Structure 1
Amino acid sequence: MIRSCLLAFTLLLLLPSPASLAEEDKPEPMAVDEVLALGPLPIAADLMEKAGHADGLRRALVGQLGEGELPRPGRSVSAFGRDSEWRSVSPAALASERTLQLLWFQLEAERFVRGHLTVEGLRNAVVYVDGKKVDGGAEGHALDLRNGSHEVWVVHEGAAEDGEPALAWQGRSDIDRVGAHTRPQRRVSAQRLTNAETVGDLAISPDGRYLALAYERRDEPADADIRRLEIRDLQTDRIVRQWTADRPAALAWSPDGSKLAVQTGDSLWLHDRETGQARALLLEHEGIGAWRWHPDSDSILFGWTRKDETETDKRRRLRALEDRWAGFRDLSQLYQVDVASGIVRALTAEERSVSLHDVVDGRALLSQYVVDYSEPPHSMTRVFELDLEDGEQRDIARLRSFNAIRYADDGYWLLAGPALSIGDGDVTPEGVIPNDYDTQLYHLSVDGTEAISFSRDFDPAFSGIERLADGNLLLSAVSGEESVLVYFDRDAERLRVVDSGLSVVESFVASRTSPPTVVARGTDADAPQRVHRVGLDGDNEVLVDTRESAYADVVLGEVRDWSFTNAEGVEIDGRYYLPPDFDAEGDYPLIVYYYGGTVPVNRQFTGRYPFNLWAAHGYVIYVVQPRGAIGYGQDFSARHVNAWGDYAADDIIEGTRQFVAAHDFVSEERIGNIGASYGGFMTMYLATKTDLFAASISHAGISALTSYWGEGWWGYGYSGVASRGSFPWNNRELYVEHSPVYNADKVTTPMLLLHGEADTNVPVGESDNMFTALKLLGREVEMVEFPGQDHWILDREQRYVWWDSILAWYDRWLKDEPEWWQNLYPES
């Protein structure tokens, strides 16, 4: 069905080599023979021009009509008491009435192309492509189009008196060809993935009836971020209140469900559910955050951070390794605000910042970071209890491994790694060092001296925990490629995965009723975000589905599971993505993606590495989960420790070879590989081990273990887990021989190095090392930095360039199409 929807995407002819074409040799223009037309609209064009906001009104018109589903014949638009229908016409048949009219069609590109769109015979025609206005010139409207579907909107004032209306595409050379059509299907785009409306946060009332949802999206024509808050009655399925607001930092209902607290910026607002009245409880209190309602009183506990203002212009003495971290000298203490009066009081005044974890019966569970390098992972957490009335503190424990803690009836529920010294969570064989990121669930005794694991034989690794009203637990966990919900029955001492209907649970909330009403938001590999009401018995209900609202008419390729058994008899998980117009008889280039570090690459719909977008560009994507990742059991995850690529490289190479052998539709000569952070290290490391790949990409990769260990802000801490007990002075073989730069002379694969210029996790020098080495060795290498960006490329426009660079590199080496890369990075 997917293939049949997109058969007409294959509109291009077989093209001659660009090398055989002279720059001045242009192909014949391609006429656009059919468009969808709307109008004439009841809008006086001349009056709009005279009123002074013509450009803004045209842009708004395209934005309003372009939101949601694509135009199609017969779809009606009503404005100012008059109905108009989209109709399929030839441009020559467009009405001549001098009022505002629209026409729409799509240009379909099967590769990067350059050319001009010519628009003739229309009065005051203004062209928008993919939501952005395109100015015209002597040759027409210049367009550089990525591989994909491109919406063209033309706002005009009817057919001109002289000349017949006509539209045409003029490519710059014979390879710059496109197809034109009016079908209501489109491939996914980078803009769709970043701009689609999603739910960013959730809050459920204690009785489970009211759900607050925070939405956000990007309007491309208006160049605006649109955010709104909504309160939905789950009993009647009605929206009882909705308003626009800044993106909330957090939101939560009061214990009685009468008020919704919403933090926007440095202010905390209270919204009355019945009246809708809003009042500022904390107004412009810079640094507030990490707050929660007191369950037994009408007050809110919150963290308040005071910024460090130490003068460091002329010199700065580092007080600790952590002093390199941004904000380490800032001080966050616990405060309490009375809701009725708005009066605030301080509850702690420690020398180090404190974090709040739980509140019950006038007591609060807090933690505090302790500088202590004596044992791996070279830090410590102090866990203590605070009496909220008299301010007395009671130390509970000092832990090397710590993720989260909650109150239990007798003691505490603790999330910590298997190497917890007071715990029994380690089930690895003797002599094997466990991966401390494989987080376990413990019951910690009241005196903090003993921790009993309830998840020793449970493969998923926990990432979050909430205590339900009946004392049972609901946890989030990494389970192979999925992020799941796990229910813990304290009486039966049993853990079970809850069927949420989502492959990747992004967050969840639970009411204080018994049984609880649970709502979760998340995605799947082939489906965008949904919000589900989750029954603990697996009975789920869809509350929000962005596939219908934000991805209408978008055709996605199929995602299939594929695993293999490696040479050591271990099953290695994975999946692959197919192009939307997949042909089993085709010969596709392959991109292999991996992390190789301590977590699997989950089945999230989109993210920093958009597999569905890559597939839409004509690639098959194979995602492999090599040994070392959590979520597959402790024996599997322990292969990460003191390995630095050993097991992961074997699995990636073997998996790629087995995948190619098992799938005739991929080309064994056109395989690319890519990874980021530890995965970027894996790209460099693999390049020293194999010539299997035809093009490689490393984003924020590690080229020298010693420099990362010492210079990365968290390098020594991460190495305290990944290289536990190993240091440059006692394990030179690990730190030197596993560092790709020391084996750079073995690299023969063309390599692209990508890095945020302000990366503090993996400093940009790690890519500089490999760039320098490969340049001096005369190898094919490119390096692209992103100014001001850290470990992730978060700026929207820079992210588009980042994604373009990845695909253009692969087009260059895997498709023999260098034009996009040359356009992005011309030699002169």
Structure 2
Amino acid sequence: MKKSLLMLLLSAATLSSIEAQTIQQMKAGGPWPVRAAFKTDTVGMNGSKYNPADLLRQAYDATDKDLRNVSADKDGRIAGRKAGSKAERSEMAVYSFALTAEHFAKGDIEVFGQGRMSLWLDDKQIGIADSPNSKGDTTLRFSASLSLVPGTHHLLLKSLLLEGDTTATDVRVVLKPKTARDSSALYPNYTGKERLSLKHMMSGTFLSGGSLSPTGKYVLTSYRVSRDNKPAVTYNQLRDAKGNILLNLNEKEALGWMPHEDMLMVIRKEGNTKRLVAFDPMGKGEKTLVSNLPESQFRMSPDARYYLFYKQEKGPGKDPLFIRHLDPDDRQSDWRDRSLIYLLNAESGVYGPLTFGYSTTYIYDIAPDSKRALIGTLSTDWTRRPFRFATIMEYNMETGKADTLITRDPSIDAIQYTPDGKHLIVMGSADAFGNIGLNLKSGVTPNSYDKQFFLFDLSTRKATALTKNFNPSVSAGRFDRKNNYYYFRAENGSRKQLYRLDLKTLEISQIQTGEDVVQWFGVAADNGAVWYSGQSANNADRLYRLDGTKGKLVWDLSAEKLANIDFTPARDWNYTAPDGTVVEGWYYLPPQFDPSKKYPMLVYYYGGTSPINRTLEGHYSLAMYAAQGYVVYTLNPSGTTGYGQEYAARHVNAWGDRTADEIIGATKEFIRTHSFVNGKKVGCFGASYGGFMTQYLQTKTDIFAAAVSHAGISSISNYWGSGYWGMGYSTVASTDSYPWNNPDLYAGHSPLFRADKIHTPLLLLHGSVDTNVPTAESVNLYNALKILGREVEFIEFTEQDHFILEPERCIRWTNSICAWFARWLQDDPTWWNELYPPVNL
């Protein structure tokens, strides 16, 4: 008796906490007159009869419409036409409102009224009543079930009145959450503010690059627009030197500038012919440069007198019944093919090979005087690490002879002529040119992913290290010929910033860009103008031009995108390890953060050799995860480039050593020093090497309540031998270590060989055709954990490689991660069970 009464009281309390909510505010448009279709026949296709109410089934985009605010009366009704007389015309009104789901939530939405109506959720129809009902506006016309992923969802109610109708068009909409948990997180959004969600990462406008005309008079900027999970469309804008938009260009293919002329080049396809055209962007004329372009990709000489092309020659085919492997790389589809350099003389039109042989030849650069070109070959020697060696030659365009500058160097990535044509800027690892760039103690192996610059004198054939004591890891840049500068980007810890090398003094200075990460930059080679775009931890894309030594904002796309976004800006938090190492990190808090509450936490990392950058957007947007009610912390542990050679070198032969301890130590210290974190509800996730780190961490600690590994390495030896780039990457990550000479590394650090130590619920994600980290890496660990009786799930994404890029699969991939964490960190399996219902087999 007492037990039954207690259950009844608990049930009543639960029901009272599930409150139905009438939508009190909407935006309204209309009513607008609508016209019946002109009937040329009495029936349509398949014998169907015309129904004017089918207007309710047509999608309607209210995004750019000037809608007015309307409020419900005391009975919850949005007023419309009164019942009574016959309508003299047909007309339609629309009502727009939004719902916010702080986490995955379910419920029902009910629509009341007499008129004809249809309801749309995120542009999909979910309910319709296409005939009137005069019984009263309290009559439920239809209801629809809602299963809403975290974020803001837009609903549109269409109300149709047809000529002759006598019914009222008042409407009332009621939201009924399914559970008490849903009731606390699912509600009408009257503020217009939205939380970041996957929708914001996959849809919208994104800056994608640009280029400057040689004199800096014009700037071509491009942006892409993604909508409805369809391929992005790229648009080009021509701006003047101050940033004013001059015109929108419709030319889509191969846009680029002529050297030393403010004319754009474009390839125009005419039947089977490709014509290369240069045109004045303001419409003052055009000229044909090449009437029949051999290939779409080319390098034009600075004097515009010749073009260099790559022409691929097919190698011997593979027998469909069996394959004799000629090389460890023979698994790659195009390994047997070779590319040779071809030359097209602009004046004579003669086209032919510049190089010949069975080795692929590469174009590195063309000298400013156009008389010389840097070309090279890569040779392979599987008996010597790092297996590939570059030979660089200077080819004389007038004599056809080549002078070898650098022979079989394993450490060079890129080479460019300086504006005077007397030196080369060489990018490579610190051990290039006989280790002159090394800044490490004797016996310490450098991390070759940490890039350096060298200045190579063509007359003396000697190189000088330019960045030996410069901690950021550099990437190839662009010349300002007017001022004799070289601009480049470099990883400076978690930031990717813009720098300038003075070619006279060889001094490097940082440009104050106002952004954490410079994503693109361009230089007007003949006048030194610089433009760039960037993003930071707390803003999306912005476009700038350099004004002196500081950036001047041209287009604040971020302000447009974030105008109605509610998120808490990132905060720095660095961890000091027991050995004194300072590990850079930062974190996001949930919207409407309350420090008196306890929040679950996510820890994200790569752990490999590349740093996590401070960008707001992306498929791993930390702010997006924070919007679902998490504290989200990230860090760049030992082994990461951008923090100096010694820090990067810690990646060599580590495979989790030190890195895992820093992640564990930082997580524990963050929990200890932040009282708002629920230390029993902490999850972790990473991809590729970060997926390996996720797996490896679970063999070393029990602090995590859930973990997600995407494309993770579970067996280092299998990845080393089976991944397309496993042997190459291992020349750094496992320098001079192999399964036969260092089994402790290959087995002792492989999560598969430590699977019995994993007790954390683990989600394994993988593309089915991953050529980088083979899918078997997840299969093997999944099998092991099933045998051990551990909590594990494995989701394989068909037809996807290392990255899950196809939109529909990408959405499922992200939702799987979020649902897994909701299941284990928020004690709510609803979303997971919605995605993957239990199956009895």
| Partner residue in 1 for 2:84 | none
Q: 1:281 touches 1:342 (CA, 8 Å); kept in 2?
A: no
| Partner residue in 1 for 2:77 | 92
1:323 aligns with 2:330: yes
Query: 1:112, CA displacement in angstroms?
Result: 1.2
Counterpart pick for 1:261 among 265, 270, 277: 265
| Partner residue in 2 for 1:451 | 463
| Partner residue in 1 for 2:486 | 473
Q: 1:396 touches 1:447 (CA, 8 Å); kept in 2?
A: no
1:532 aligns with 2:517: no
Give the Cα separation in 2 of the matches to 1:701 and 1:218: 29
Moved more, 679-688 or 314-323: 314-323
Q: 2:602 touches 2:632 (CA, 8 Å); kept in 1?
A: yes
Query: 1:118, CA displacement in angstroms?
Result: 2.6
Higher-Rg member (1/2): 2
| Partner residue in 2 for 1:427 | 439
| Partner residue in 2 for 1:402 | 412
Partner amino acid, structure 1, of 2:478: E
Partner amino acid, structure 2, of 1:505: V
1:251 aligns with 2:261: no
Q: 1:439 to 1:805 in 2, by over 3 A?
A: same
Normalized against structure 2, the TM-score is what?
A: 0.87
Secondary structure at the residue paired with 2:650?
helix
Moved more, 799-808 or 168-177: 168-177
Secondary structure at the residue paired with 2:31?
coil
Q: 1:119 to 1:324 in 2, by over 3 A?
A: same
Secondary structure at the residue paired with 1:791?
coil
Counterpart pick for 1:40 among 28, 31, 34: 31
| Partner residue in 2 for 1:413 | 425
Normalized against structure 1, the TM-score is what?
A: 0.88
Counterpart pick for 1:795 among 773, 787, 806: 806
Q: Deviations over 1:707-752 (max 9, x none)?
A: 1100010000100011111111111111110111111111111111
Secondary structure at the residue paired with 1:395?
strand
| Partner residue in 2 for 1:511 | 524
Secondary structure at the residue paired with 1:92?
coil
Partner amino acid, structure 2, of 1:583: D
1:106 aligns with 2:119: no
Query: 1:93, CA displacement in angstroms?
Result: 3.1
Counterpart pick for 1:147 among 145, 150, 156: 150
Query: 1:282, CA displacement in angstroms?
Result: 7.2
Moved more, 353-362 or 722-731: 353-362
Q: 1:503 touches 1:525 (CA, 8 Å); kept in 2?
A: yes
Give the Cα separation in 1 of the matches to 2:91 and 2:347: 58
Give the Cα separation in 2 of the matches to 1:55 and 1:782: 45
Query: 1:389, CA displacement in angstroms?
Result: 4.0
Q: 1:113 touches 1:144 (CA, 8 Å); kept in 2?
A: yes
| Partner residue in 1 for 2:303 | 296
| Partner residue in 1 for 2:172 | 166
Q: Deviations over 1:305-334 (max 9, x none)?
A: 456572442222222222222322333333
Give the Cα separation in 2 of the matches to 1:172 and 1:483: 46
Q: 1:512 to 1:122 in 2, by over 3 A?
A: farther
Secondary structure at the residue paired with 1:150?
strand
Give the Cα separation in 1 of the matches to 2:357 and 2:15: 73
Give the Cα separation in 2 of the matches to 1:282 and 1:372: 41
Q: Deviations over 1:434-491 (max 9, x none)?
A: 1111111112343796432111110001122223314431111111000111211122
| Partner residue in 1 for 2:200 | 192
Give the Cα separation in 2 of the matches to 1:277 and 1:795: 41
Q: Deviations over 1:762-804 (max 9, x none)?
A: 1111111211111100011111111111111111121111111
Secondary structure at the residue paired with 1:550?
helix
Secondary structure at the residue paired with 2:756?
helix
Moved more, 643-652 or 196-205: 196-205
Counterpart pick for 2:505 among 484, 489, 492: 492
| Partner residue in 1 for 2:109 | 117
| Partner residue in 2 for 1:8 | none
Q: 1:366 to 1:439 in 2, by over 3 A?
A: same
Query: 1:421, CA displacement in angstroms?
Result: 4.9
Query: 1:547, CA displacement in angstroms?
Result: 1.7
| Partner residue in 2 for 1:384 | 393
1:585 aligns with 2:596: yes
Q: 1:475 to 1:303 in 2, by over 3 A?
A: same
Partner amino acid, structure 2, of 1:106: A
Q: 1:202 touches 1:251 (CA, 8 Å); kept in 2?
A: no
Give the Cα separation in 1 of the matches to 2:160 and 2:475: 58
| Partner residue in 1 for 2:246 | 240
Q: 2:26 touches 2:69 (CA, 8 Å); kept in 1?
A: no
Q: 1:357 to 1:501 in 2, by over 3 A?
A: farther
| Partner residue in 1 for 2:787 | 776
Q: Deviations over 1:38-86 (max 9, x none)?
A: 2223554767997999779953x41xx426xxxxxxxx83xxxxxx645
Moved more, 741-750 or 42-51: 42-51
| Partner residue in 2 for 1:348 | 355
Q: 1:815 to 1:401 in 2, by over 3 A?
A: same
Counterpart pick for 1:366 among 351, 366, 375: 375
Give the Cα separation in 2 of the matches to 1:56 and 1:240: 41
Query: 1:347, CA displacement in angstroms?
Result: 3.0
Q: 1:565 to 1:310 in 2, by over 3 A?
A: same
| Partner residue in 2 for 1:702 | 713
Q: Deviations over 1:348-401 (max 9, x none)?
A: 334233332221222222233322223222211222222334433332212101
Partner amino acid, structure 2, of 1:93: I
Unpaired runs of 5+ residues, structure 2, are: 1-6, 40-48, 82-86, 130-140
Q: 2:212 touches 2:523 (CA, 8 Å); kept in 1?
A: yes
Q: 1:132 to 1:423 in 2, by over 3 A?
A: farther
Give the Cα separation in 2 of the matches to 1:147 and 1:130: 13
Q: Deviations over 1:207-245 (max 9, x none)?
A: 112111222112329x5743321111124x432221346
1:482 aligns with 2:510: no
Give the Cα separation in 2 of the matches to 1:20 and 1:308: 74
Q: 1:580 to 1:342 in 2, by over 3 A?
A: farther
Q: 1:263 to 1:719 in 2, by over 3 A?
A: farther
Secondary structure at the residue paired with 1:822?
helix
Equivalenced residues, count: 788
Counterpart pick for 2:121 among 114, 121, 129: 129
Secondary structure at the residue paired with 1:364?
strand
Q: 1:34 to 1:492 in 2, by over 3 A?
A: same
Give the Cα separation in 1 of the matches to 2:116 and 2:286: 47
Q: Deviations over 1:142-169 (max 9, x none)?
A: 3210122111122332598446411122
Moved more, 298-307 or 541-550: 298-307
Give the Cα separation in 2 of the matches to 1:124 and 1:351: 73
1:215 aligns with 2:226: no
Secondary structure at the residue paired with 1:179?
strand
Counterpart pick for 1:567 among 578, 581, 584: 578
Give the Cα separation in 2 of the matches to 1:125 and 1:343: 69
Give the Cα separation in 2 of the matches to 1:826 and 1:445: 67
Q: 1:791 to 1:447 in 2, by over 3 A?
A: farther
Partner amino acid, structure 2, of 1:370: S
**Counterparts of residues 548-563 of structure 1 (less than 5 Å):** 548-563=559-574
1:658 aligns with 2:669: yes
1:723 aligns with 2:734: yes
Give the Cα separation in 2 of the matches to 1:378 and 1:577: 42
